[in-house]
Structure 1
């Protein structure tokens, strides 16, 4: 499979250094590694390699250049020598111009869809740059924020360091992963926390550079985007699976000490509890209230180990929240203030000389444990009646505002996210929720994400929609944004449009500051739309949880750019203003001012208008849909299955006889079998819709909760459930919507002889 080069060693003495240069035959030697899916061919002189698809022979990647920088000099790799091939592993030395010491290469095919390359240089402070030929493909990933197109990164050139750049519309949208997917079927993942830089499709190459003397990067073959994400998820680690209660609405204020004139409250604690009561009064389902700073004693409202006097009884506050089905979270940061700063400084564990409140060096075990102990003492200051802490998680802020050297941001934020996760795990097992602003690659294992501080304009809403889909393309599925903006004075129209978008974000997060004039002022339109949207989001929890679990297993996100579902449709290659929520629900939020309708592109197939449940549309075309305030155009594709229902009580005290119930919507296809993998919280139970010449059959094993099936079909003749024919009184058929309603309990099979699809 490979031949070893005949090498004549030529030794040149250059001062104190010895330069070893391989001399090869006139014809360049090449070596090939193969799997069932990939073929990688390495050429010795000049050094280069090519990656092809094994089945089709299509060239997926062509190496253009590799260089190492030591000091101010960039040293290009000229040739590979001493090449050894053993099984699926190739090793070689890399000849660098003007340097006596060679670099080394290790190339392997550890899996049939993955090639792994490790470059190593003896100087640890070197940087490594790799370039590939650009062939006009699309590139997705790397940054949450747009630095090139909308979703496609072509033309982008930007640092990869995690600093919170002053983006005009959304400050500090700072998810980042050293990973991108290309439309030709290959993903590239550099497994490093080093600072770096990416340059995408510029001067006919795409290249990355990292400040490290050793770099491992992986080539992940799909060819589908979903398959690439699956390989990436397996390699980099899956996202954290959040608790059920985190999927209802989340509420907060930027400063509870700033009591608005519309609210009768004597202090910050009374204001928080008044907000809890407001949600119940308006029947707005919610599960979480979190507190931003200031809330502790000491400088900056953060850094003390006890709550400040304006929260006079945090135990009672936390207990009231739990009694009302809600959870208390609070704001934390890796920045130091008050009791955190001086002990770390005294031990030489502080990044002094940066901001006024620099971070501790969490690479040092003592500093890491000190942060965990501090968080533990603050959480332990809040006790519930059952003896456990009343704090159920955190919002982690900052992390990219020069609290530390830029070169360490990626490492530091990952360690802080991990420390907070471990500290909460010790108290609550897996029953807690943490979300953070700054995340690097493997932080997904520890925390969810909100996209920073958006401004109060429609362009910021549009940017946030792009952020959500870009984050999903890097395997960060539990995502949310500050609904209506972080600013205190959004217009009512902007707030209501953002609520429409937030309904179809896994994390639906409301800031109340600046909205008191509507909620406490009793604006019926704002209250009604908020209630309807939060109830709809709450009702989608069975579907959302299943999609999040699917993301945990496969890397395929909840909020999906259309390109994931229709990769060959060139219309959607950079489309951001509509997306899939989960596998079956197409949503098209309004993100422009003064708009009462909008165009929706329907890809190939047949689609049911999910708002009227009667109109079936043919795909591969654009339709215009009404979209007044409070309405988001939505479609489901043929064969869709959407589990819904109320399976989380949360704060719904107005439901005196509450019991968990499921409501499973099924839209059978005309001829194919479709299924949905429903996650019960313990196991995955497929829900299947089978279409035969004899009719339609819906079947599934027990889903932990009883409920009802809502099946959209024509021509109901008989309904047979678990082998028994049902009488007319045991089911309902709504002919105007072709909707059959059948109760179910436990393992269920419903047969509909003679029934036909509405598609």
Structure 2
């Protein structure tokens, strides 16, 4: 939200109340910080304490490396606000707060590890510092209440949803206030400081200069809307900022005031955490400790997913032909996905196979699972069409979101008269879970949890009394958690996966997430990568996308380039709208190219699965932006067309037509081509080259030890401890590098492999008991 007219003036009608002066300071009851009373006018004598807002500000540390600032006005109202964001759901906090009063009067400090917050009394400011330098600060008049004319706050002005339409369908529209209260806080942006994250954002990867609303919408990949908005950003200055608010959070990233990040929420309270780390990955470790770690996914999920596509034929002959064709072309499918029309048209969701196309669904699923060795995924969403045979059941049970008059909320946007399952109602959750259980009983292994973004927020009521504005984003987490929990209950911990489109903070706990509807163009392929890198910079461990694009039919060269990129992503799915994505539709050569990349991904599974364990235990994303791995290299800070797959593999997808030069960056050190290990490059440098249509630039970082499975293994889930090919790259003379070897079951580490370079540069490989090494390839150590 923008409150200013330029830098000095306020917009007409805006009433500000700036936090100016600390009038009382007390250590809080838990001894992890200070409780401040901050006046919004100068207090020169006792008479100035009469009337006017006073801000209650808590500055505290809930865990190591994180300091929270909670700004409250009317505390009684916020005490009943729900839902909230669950903190520390997976890992306990690490308390280490230290409180100090400065040598001068009017100075207090809260420190947590190497992070500290210094508070001054008059004027009231907070400065955050670490390792002897200032990270950022909330300076004079950086914290405030704003009363904004109501007409300026209509949701269609800020995030595209239509308040007028919502009101027109409500026979008793709520009375509108004259003003809406906002709480705002600003943090300084230093020269050269860059901002990343805020969830899956498809625009410029660096967020400076952007206005970003954390408000989920299903607008595709080509607009400012996003399916997975997260109130967390990370900077290149050694800290991240998490805003602990489940509803709409509006960020002005150097866009209203060019040297500040402004954060505002409608209401009476705003809480944010500064999270420091010596590296960007340590910041993500601490952030995901606070908000939740990505679940560890079963190893079979990292194989190739093939979809029926959306508007295409799903008949058994077509499906069997595709799966057989993929096998014959050495492109084995590990997960087969049935999209929307496994149910009858107009009946989404009925959770019932269309009897015209699937007269014996249990037998049909059993046949293709046994014949082709695939897992089965089916498409679902939380919407129930009024033409669905279970709609009346949902209405009579009270399982749908209601209007204020108690009748079900409905609209026609996706299905006729659809209602939305009230995820806050325990009976509705049990009812929905029972529908999923019935599908699991006949052979379904996982679900594509589509939609969950445009949840109504005006003129509606939830079963548990949740504020609809706060539920709009939160719904996505509760929805995906419900489905994930059903799968975990049925198949066991470590065996559940959803293929989700919507999410917000905390949603990283229920992977995997894909990027939504994109076009079949190079531009959309780049959009998908930017969205994935923004998402994984926001605490999400895994990312996927529709290989080849969703809308339209890609030309063969775009399809082939996207296949290479997709199989060097954490999860790889072939999916489209009105056209198929099996490779021979784009030429038999495309199938040959795909076979090569599928085999490479299978062979890389000991490495990839180890990164999945790191995501689960430390919050480190499998697919990560270059700056996360190389924060000391300023060139990496703007790169959004290449990435690191784990710490060792640099991947540079090709976004240009065949025959044109692509360009990518190599950081410092001697890097080795993964596919052509006799090719070395000494960085830092830029590479310009024409890349053949069947290749993708992949480079191995110096000092890496890669452990690969055997060629032609044919699946991602196998024994990672047998017949390993160990490849060592530039092991420094006289040093050793060890890597863990996962078993592929849960987060169990089966053993290790160690590469040791002697004084002459010869490399020996030592494997622990239980690890069998079949081949060793060593590339030159440093001279």
Distance apart, 1:486 and its partner CA: 0.5
Does the C-alpha gap of structure 1 residues 160 and 645 become closer, same or farther in structure 2, counting only changes over 3 Å? same
Q: Deviations over 1:159-184 (max 9, x none)?
A: 11112235537x97522221111122
3-state SS in 1 of match to 2:598: helix
Does the C-alpha gap of structure 1 residues 678 and 620 become closer, same or farther in structure 2, counting only changes over 3 Å? same
Structure 1 residue 62 corresponds to structure 2 residue 138: yes
Distance apart, 1:135 and its partner CA: 1.6
3-state SS in 1 of match to 2:190: coil
Aligned-residue CA RMSD (Å): 3.4
User: Which residue of structure 1 lines up, in the alignment, with residue 298 of structure 2?
Assistant: 243
Structure 1 residue 223 corresponds to structure 2 residue 290: no
Distance apart, 1:473 and its partner CA: 0.8
CA distance in 2, matches of 1:37, 1:71: 39
Structure 1 residue 273 corresponds to structure 2 residue 349: no
Q: Deviations over 1:311-341 (max 9, x none)?
A: 1222122222332321001001111221454
User: Which residue of structure 2 lines up, in the alignment, with residue 399 of structure 1?
Assistant: 452
CA distance in 2, matches of 1:343, 1:395: 23
User: Which residue of structure 2 lines up, in the alignment, with residue 262 of structure 1?
Assistant: none
| Structure 1 unaligned spans of 5+ | 75-124, 260-266, 383-389, 715-756
1:178 to 192, 206, 231: 231
User: Which residue of structure 2 lines up, in the alignment, with residue 731 of structure 1?
Assistant: none
Does the C-alpha gap of structure 1 residues 555 and 348 become closer, same or farther in structure 2, counting only changes over 3 Å? closer
2:122 to 23, 45, 50: 45
Q: Deviations over 1:522-561 (max 9, x none)?
A: 8221121121122222222221111111122222211121
- Residue pairs, 1:280-679, within 5 angstroms: 280-297=327-344, 299-323=346-370, 324-337=372-385, 338-346=388-396, 347=398, 349-351=400-402, 352-355=409-412, 356-380=417-441, 382=442, 390-402=443-455, 407=469, 408-429=471-492, 430-511=494-575, 519=583, 523-646=587-710, 661-671=723-733, 672-679=735-742
Structure number with bigger Rg: 1
3-state SS in 2 of match to 1:299: coil
CA distance in 1, matches of 2:273, 2:720: 50
CA distance in 1, matches of 2:434, 2:276: 43
CA distance in 2, matches of 1:537, 1:423: 29
1:173 and 1:437 in contact (8 A); partners too: no
Does the C-alpha gap of structure 1 residues 516 and 365 become closer, same or farther in structure 2, counting only changes over 3 Å? closer
Structure 1 residue 689 corresponds to structure 2 residue 751: no
2:195 to 135, 139, 151: 139
Structure 1 residue 152 corresponds to structure 2 residue 206: yes
CA distance in 2, matches of 1:674, 1:397: 43
CA distance in 2, matches of 1:668, 1:620: 16
3-state SS in 2 of match to 1:464: helix
TM-score, normalised with respect to structure 2: 0.75
Structure 1 residue 698 corresponds to structure 2 residue 760: no
CA distance in 2, matches of 1:577, 1:624: 14
3-state SS in 2 of match to 1:509: strand
1:12 and 1:20 in contact (8 A); partners too: no
2:529 and 2:640 in contact (8 A); partners too: yes
CA distance in 1, matches of 2:55, 2:505: 39
Distance apart, 1:438 and its partner CA: 0.8
CA distance in 2, matches of 1:438, 1:652: 26
3-state SS in 2 of match to 1:643: strand
Structure 1 residue 199 corresponds to structure 2 residue 219: no
1:577 and 1:589 in contact (8 A); partners too: yes
CA distance in 1, matches of 2:600, 2:325: 19
Does the C-alpha gap of structure 1 residues 345 and 45 become closer, same or farther in structure 2, counting only changes over 3 Å? farther
3-state SS in 1 of match to 2:356: coil
Distance apart, 1:18 and its partner CA: 8.5
3-state SS in 2 of match to 1:391: coil
1:142 and 1:180 in contact (8 A); partners too: yes
Structure 1 residue 163 corresponds to structure 2 residue 225: no
Distance apart, 1:72 and its partner CA: 4.5
Q: Deviations over 1:173-210 (max 9, x none)?
A: 52222111112211111223122211112312101122
Does the C-alpha gap of structure 1 residues 269 and 173 become closer, same or farther in structure 2, counting only changes over 3 Å? farther
Distance apart, 1:306 and its partner CA: 4.6
Distance apart, 1:237 and its partner CA: 1.0
CA distance in 2, matches of 1:414, 1:529: 37
1:197 and 1:210 in contact (8 A); partners too: yes
1:273 and 1:317 in contact (8 A); partners too: no
Q: Deviations over 1:408-429 (max 9, x none)?
A: 2211111100100111112111
Does the C-alpha gap of structure 1 residues 516 and 369 become closer, same or farther in structure 2, counting only changes over 3 Å? closer
CA distance in 1, matches of 2:361, 2:290: 42
CA distance in 2, matches of 1:19, 1:612: 67
Distance apart, 1:650 and its partner CA: 6.2
3-state SS in 1 of match to 2:478: helix
Comparing 451-460 with 271-280, which one deviates more in the overlay?
271-280
CA distance in 1, matches of 2:671, 2:715: 35
User: Which residue of structure 1 lines up, in the alignment, with residue 160 of structure 2?
Assistant: none
Distance apart, 1:62 and its partner CA: 3.5
Comparing 359-368 with 219-228, which one deviates more in the overlay?
359-368
Does the C-alpha gap of structure 1 residues 438 and 652 become closer, same or farther in structure 2, counting only changes over 3 Å? closer
CA distance in 1, matches of 2:291, 2:604: 29
Does the C-alpha gap of structure 1 residues 246 and 667 become closer, same or farther in structure 2, counting only changes over 3 Å? same
CA distance in 1, matches of 2:736, 2:675: 24
1:607 and 1:637 in contact (8 A); partners too: yes
CA distance in 2, matches of 1:489, 1:458: 12
**Higher strand fraction (1 or 2):** 1
1:172 and 1:453 in contact (8 A); partners too: no
CA distance in 1, matches of 2:384, 2:53: 49
CA distance in 2, matches of 1:40, 1:665: 46
3-state SS in 2 of match to 1:181: strand
Distance apart, 1:248 and its partner CA: 0.7
Distance apart, 1:582 and its partner CA: 1.4
TM-score, normalised with respect to structure 1: 0.77
Does the C-alpha gap of structure 1 residues 472 and 595 become closer, same or farther in structure 2, counting only changes over 3 Å? farther
Distance apart, 1:212 and its partner CA: 4.5
2:194 and 2:236 in contact (8 A); partners too: yes
